[in-house]
Each structure stands twice: as C-alpha cells, then as structure tokens.
Amino acid sequence: MTAPSGSDEPVSRDDGTDEPAATRATTREELAEEAAATASMPRPHADGTQAVARTELTVGPHWPARTEMTTRAETAGAGGEFAPTAATRRTELTPRAAGEQAEVPAPDVTEVAEQAGAQGVSRPGSSEADPRTPTRPSQRTARMTRTRPVVRRLGAGLVPIPAVEPVDPEAAVLEDPVVAEGRRFCWRCGKPVGRATPTQASTTAGSCQTCGAPYDFRPSLYPGDRVAGQYEIQGCIAHGGLGWIYLAIDRNVSDRWVVLKGLLHAGDAEAQAVAVAERQFLAEVVHPSIVKIHNFVEHPGPDGTPIGYIVMEYVGGHSLRDLLDHYAPERMPVAVAIAYLLEILPALDYLHSVGLAYNDLKPDNIMITTDRVELIDLGAVSQFEAYGNLYGTRGYQAPEIAHTGPTVASDIYTAGRTLAVLTLHLPMERGAYMDGIPDPKDEPILARHQFLYRLLLRATHPDPDRRFASARLLATQLTGVLREILAAETGNEHPQLSTLFSPPRTSFGTGELIAQTDGIIDGVARDTLLQPGDVVAALPVPIIDPGDPSAPLLAGAAHPEPRHALDELRHARQRAAAEPGGAPETFELEVTLAEARAHLDLAEPAAARLLLARLTDAPLPPAPDWRIDWYLGLTELLELEYERAFARFDAVLEALPGEIGPTLALAATAELILQHWDSPDPEEWRAYAESYYATVWRTDRGVVSAAFGLARQLAAAGNITAAVHALDQVPPASRHYAEARMTAILMLLTCAPAAELDESTLQVAAARVQDLPPGEGRAAQLRILTLGIALGWVQAGKRPKANGAKLFGSPFTERDLRRGIETGLRGLARSAPARTHRYALVDLANAVRAKSWF
C-alpha cells in the first residue's frame, strides 16, 4: 500500500526501526496531500513525512500506544493508490504580469505563475463554495481584485519574480470533502483502513483491524460551526495525516480569514492535552517570513472528546511545490530556486536564534504571497535537542536526527535538500526522494555550475559538523553562488563584498608579460613566470568576526607593517592574560592565526607553520576552521609545495563555495603548478586555472589579476581572440588598464611566428599601439616591436593585400619599416640608462637602417 504524499511519520530514535504508528501532518503538508489526491494521476514525487521519537527510554516491542511511532513510507509505493478525491478541482493561479526584463533567462515565470495556482495557506483542491457556507462581506473580494500587478526582485534583489494575485479564500473550500480510499491509514499503527474488499464496501469510520484504534475520515467541523465561540468554519480545504484542515472566519477580529489544524489525532485525548501545552510557545514566534499563530483552542468532537486546534493566519498565494509541478518534468530554474530559498533562510535563522528548529523545510511549506515568501506550518517546530516525537519528511530529513535531535545542522540539511529537489532530478524510492546529490556527469545543471554542486554537498554532508554552521552562513554562500550563476548566464558581472575575506590586497601576474619589452630600453631580461611570493602577497586574508569576543583584544594588531603587527600581538597576549576572567575562549585561535599571517607577510613560512601546528596538533584541537586550511595553503605556496597548497584551497572552497578568494587561490596555484612543475597531466591543471580564473573574472571585474591569468591560459591554449577579449574587459578606471591594453598587443604579436601572422593582426596591433595614451612610456618600445615583427613578416615573402597599404601612417614596405625601426631605436638610445646599452641600441639602429645607394 502507498502512503499519502507528505504524511508525517514518526520513527523510533533508539532502535532505528520503522514501526507502524500514528502520524501527524503539518498544515502545509496536509494541504499538499489533498492537492495530490485531486490530481488526475498519481504524483511521482509523493513525499513521505516521518516523525522521529526521541526518548531516553529503551523502546521495546510493547511500547505504549501513544508513543509507538512508525514510518508509513516504509510501505509507500509509487503512489498508485492515490485515488482522486471526488467533486474537487484545482484552482488556477492568477499571475502578475512581468514589468521588466529579467537578468537571467528563465522559462516563462509568468506562465508558471498562471498555471501553478494562487491559493490559500496550502495546496488544496478547489471547488465552488458550499451552498451552506455563510456569505462574506463583498468588500473583501473587491479589495483583493484591485491589487496592481508588480514584479518583485528576490535573492538580494538579483532575480525578478512575477508576484501573484490573491484570490478569494472560498475558492479553496472543497465542495465534497472525501478522503480517497488510497489515503486512508490508521492514525496509530499506520496500516490501511476503510478500504473496500471483495466482501466489504469501503468505510469512512470504524476501528482498525490491526490495533483496534478508532478512525473517522469524516470532517469533525462543518460550515457554520463556531469553534471557541469565535472561529466560524467555512469548510474543509485539505486532509492530511491528522485529519481535516479548515478555513474559518474569526468573528472576533475584523472577520479575518484563519486556518484551523488539529494538533494530534482526535483518538488520543491524553496526547491532545500534552500537545496543546507544548505548542503554546509557537504563539511567541514572530517573523515576517513565518506564518502567524493566532491561538490554540479546543472544540468537542462528535463523541464529545475535546480536540485541540492550532489557529493560524490565512496565507494567500501558492507554494513552491505548485511552481515546481508546473515545470515538470523539468525542474525550476536555478536562479529562481535560489532566490526563493534566500527569502526563507532569514526566517530559519530567526528560529535558530530563539532555540527552535523548523524540522520540515520543503517546497510544500514555502508559500509565495503577494508581498513576501513565507514559511507556513509550524507543526513540526521543536526546541533544539528536544525529546519526544519529532516530525519531518523522508528525503528531506537529516539522517542523524534520531540520535541528535533537532539542531541547526539538521535544519541546514533540509534547506540543502529543498534546493536540490527544486533544481535537480533526484531519484525516488517508495514515494520519497533518495539521499545524496547526483554526480555532475548525470546532472547537466551541476556540470555547468560546480559551485552549486559544492554548496549542495556541503549543506547535505552526512557529517553534521561538516555542514554550514548557520543559516546565515548558508545564505551568504548561496548568494555568492547565485552571483556566479547569474554572471555565467548573463555575461554581466555580479560582484559581492565578502564578509569573511578582505578584498585582494594587491594584484599579481599583471606586469610580467609586458615587462619583457622593457629589455629593449635597458637590456635587462625579465622573468615572465608567476611567482608564489607575489600570489601570497596579493591574495585576500580572512577577516575576524567583529562579534567575536577576542576582536577588541586584537584590534591593535591590524597593522600594515607585519613587524609592528607582531609586536601588537605580543601586547595582546599580555592584556589577555591580565583580564580578570581570563582570555576569551577563542583568543588563542584568533591570536595564533594573526601571528601566522604576519609571518607569511614577512615571507617566513617556517615560523607560520610552527604556529599553525600548535592548533592542528593540540591535544584538544579547535573545531574545524577553514582559516587554518587557508593559512596552511599560503604557507605551502611559499614552501613551493603547490599540490598540497591546492588541496588546502580546495578544502576552503568546499567550506565556502560562494567566495571569490579561494577560487582565485586555486586558479593561481594551478598556474604555478603548470609553470614550475613538470606535471604528468598539464592539460588538467591548465583547465583548472582557466576555469577558476574565468569564474572570478566574470563575477567580479574588480579582481584584475584574474583577467590577466585567464588571458594567459587562453593564449597558451591558442585562443588569442578570447585572451585579448578578456584583457579588453579590464575597466578604464583600473590602474592596470594600460597594462591590459599593452599585454593584449603583445599577445597579438607573439601568438605565432612572424611568418604565420596575417596582415590584419599586424594592422590591429599597430592601431592599438596608436590608441595608447600619449604619456604611456612603453608605447615607443611597443611601436618598435610591432614594426620589427612586421619587417620579419615582409622578409618571409608576405605582402599587404592592398597596394599603398600603410602601417603607423607610413607605407607598408620593407624600406619604410626599417626607417621606422631605426628612428625608434635612436630615440630609445638617447634615454638609455646605461652607456653600454645606449651603444647597443645605436649599433642595432645602424644594422637595421634601410640601405642607401647614394
């Protein structure tokens, strides 16, 4: 038999087995189930939701009924038994028209909004209003229809998203609320109940033949009923594992729309009382992106037993599940999915700040409204490391939660899984998504966006300690990944000021190529290879968290001169030792990292390594910290241990996939390996260098080192056009603008032997030399170099295509080329710094001058 989509299923924490038991569904999830039941065919992504029983007691085979929890999804199949509910239909969404051009090409977001459905608090099937339903004031509907279409920008304002129009909540009320046979399960043991057999018709009420628990799939509230003398029921809008969910009007507060959802199954009166007491804290949860809890009430059931209900605000809109369904069989555009998740992560961070875990983040529980993206259904929220029954959804829920209880890490896992479900084709088993992230070889999206792949691996790492430490950190890295994706898809840069790294302290690799031409002036040969010391001096450095208790003690150590910084750090150690309560817990880590940085700035890698070894080899080493890997990577660069440095920087990028700093470090290290080592696979390292340089450059045009590095890799691969284009993208405001223009000229002239160049390349190079600013000191030597290569071209038997062709305004002939070179060399000789080189330039001018017969 198959389980309902999104059913909440408990699991024993102690024995790890999935015993049949009661379920509790969350509001959003139950409504999603109802929508699945109204579909014309089974939904292929039925999500089983399980509860986890956390208890210190040993679970035996005769666990008391109210704590005997199970996972229905253990028997879930492909959803074939999800028969449609009679007399229901889905409501179409009313979109808002897009009002501006999106930066990222995305598949018809407006069309998605039109077809995904703009509904109430969840995704119920809709129908015409029940004739028994009392009428509402006409002003309510009139107000909603006057809303103007707008386009919102989500995801740090980077992604345009069409907003949706609210609809009359009555459209969500089911005309004939019936639970399909395939969705009838015992609330206690999870076994199928009420099903038709060859000898017996189906029933909506009775007793479970397995455990004897009563069941009743009929609504316990009907239109016109008043709960707590205040909430007038309008009808059912969905059914889930805990029964029906109802739309109501709050007659005591401005006739506002509300939603009532049962706390626990009505058959367990004792659990009802406990649940009401335990859920009271949810009323204090206040955040603009979290559904509001209005009240907790009780109302007599059909047999007079009190049933507890949670009263929530009515949220008009549509869920991410609705939107995802529209894209089927494709997935949601990556930028759009990230933008939606970024709107929810602050709410998750807020819950964590007050000691609560959400536990059941998934597309069904994320509602898109007219003015915000909102978390709905707080039914699974619990305190950190809570004991008892914890609820979540198989395929989203962290694997360790049965042992650790709810933690920040377990919520981070659900966030990563939510993003994966929205963007990837995840395999399913027994109605739930299987754990793991697909290999990029099997998922084109991940092959195109390796930083998204890294982020998903980090967020869903099996080891909770290897996940992002907070929802805030996840949001920061996700924003960085979004900017990289947008830059790749649009061609426009999307820079971001890092909160973890300083900007690059200087540039590297910008002057090596063009500096070769300085040998014409002074006769001194230059090294064109990238130097590790230059890379270390230029790369960004980690920033200490201003909220860290050690930050005030280390404030004076932020000195540009490393010797002075070391002196200040010694004083900081003395001040910390004199503190009445002792140094902060983080002080030793922070001061040691600062000392290591100062020694690296002094090019003293041995001293830096000794300091870092104190941290890594300590009896009680600190928690995993990417900064240790970063400084060890810099140390190994100075020690010429390039492959080990590459592995260190790769570990940092694994921890921080949205940061530019480690990406730039990986690019430079791969280039150093190419230049200084005889690697058995140079093309692999060249591909690394090109890919990482390209990522940095297209994302942030302020990191000019990446433009030069990318140009070098492209030129080495023979793609001179792309190399020159990369250098041409250096902005005029950059202090390396002229160097970039001149380096492009040099690449054009040296991309092939002179005899293999074409005339157009020489003409382009000459035109670029003429475009250099009048005060550019290297313009003269570049002019001489261009004329010299053109002379070699002519001497190889090549001739301009057009008669009367000119170069630098003079005839493109051997005689005029020689005259131009001679004039240039004599001009350089007059300003040569050394007498011997001056004589050499004069001799060269005499040798190249055109022969005269008179």
Distance CA 698, CA 542 (A): 23
Please give the backbone phi and psi of residue 607, each rounded to the nearest 5 degrees, phi first: -65, -40
| Coil vs helix vs strand at 37 | helix
Sign of CA dihedral 694, 700, 706, 710: positive
Distance CA 216, CA 654 (A): 51
SS (H, E, C) 296-333: EEEEECCCCCEEEEEEEECCCEEEHHHHHHHHCCCCCC
Please give the backbone phi and psi of residue 48, each rounded to the nearest 5 degrees, phi first: -80, 130
The answer to whether the peptide bond before residue 20 is cis (omega within 30 degrees of 0) is: no
> How remote is the C-alpha of 92 from its chain's centroid?
30
**For residue 804, how many other CB atoms are within 10 A of its CB?**
8
Distance CA 368, CA 364 (A): 11
How would DSSP label each residue in 718-779?
T-HHHHHHHHHTS-TTSTTHHHHHHHHHHHHHHSS-GGG--HHHHHHHHHHHHTS-TT-TTH
Residues linked to residue 383 through DSSP beta bridges, in sequence order: 356
Distance CA 643, CA 636 (A): 9
How many residues are listed for the chain in this entry? 854
* CA–CA–CA angle 694, 468, 540 (5° rounding): 45
Q: Is 273 exposed, middle or buried (0-12, 13-18, 19+ CB in 10 A)?
A: middle
What are the residue numbers of the active site? 360
375: Cβ–Cβ under 8 A, 6 or more apart, which residues?
289, 290, 291, 344, 347, 348, 358, 361, 365, 366, 367
Question: Where would I find the beta strands (DSSP E) of 183-230?
Answer: 205-207, 214-216, 226-227
Distance CA 713, CA 687 (A): 8
Distance CA 47, CA 429 (A): 10
Distance CA 358, CA 408 (A): 9
> How remote is the C-alpha of 641 from its chain's centroid?
32
Distance CA 10, CA 485 (A): 38
Smallest Cα–Cα separation from 364: which of 307, 433, 280?
433
| 701 to 292, 478, 496, 686, 728: CA distances (angstroms) | 43, 20, 11, 21, 11
| 296 to 230, 273, 281: CA distances (angstroms) | 12, 11, 11
> How remote is the C-alpha of 27 from its chain's centroid?
27
| 177 to 34, 89, 96, 506, 609: CA distances (angstroms) | 10, 12, 31, 68, 70
**For residue 168, how many other CB atoms are within 10 A of its CB?**
17
Both tokens assigned to 330: 């494709």
First to last CA, the chain: 107
Distance CA 469, CA 413 (A): 11
Both tokens assigned to 597: 């940085």
650: Cβ–Cβ under 8 A, 6 or more apart, which residues?
662, 666
Distance CA 566, CA 559 (A): 9
Task: Name residue 852's amino acid.
Answer: S
385: Cβ–Cβ under 8 A, 6 or more apart, which residues?
404, 405, 406, 407
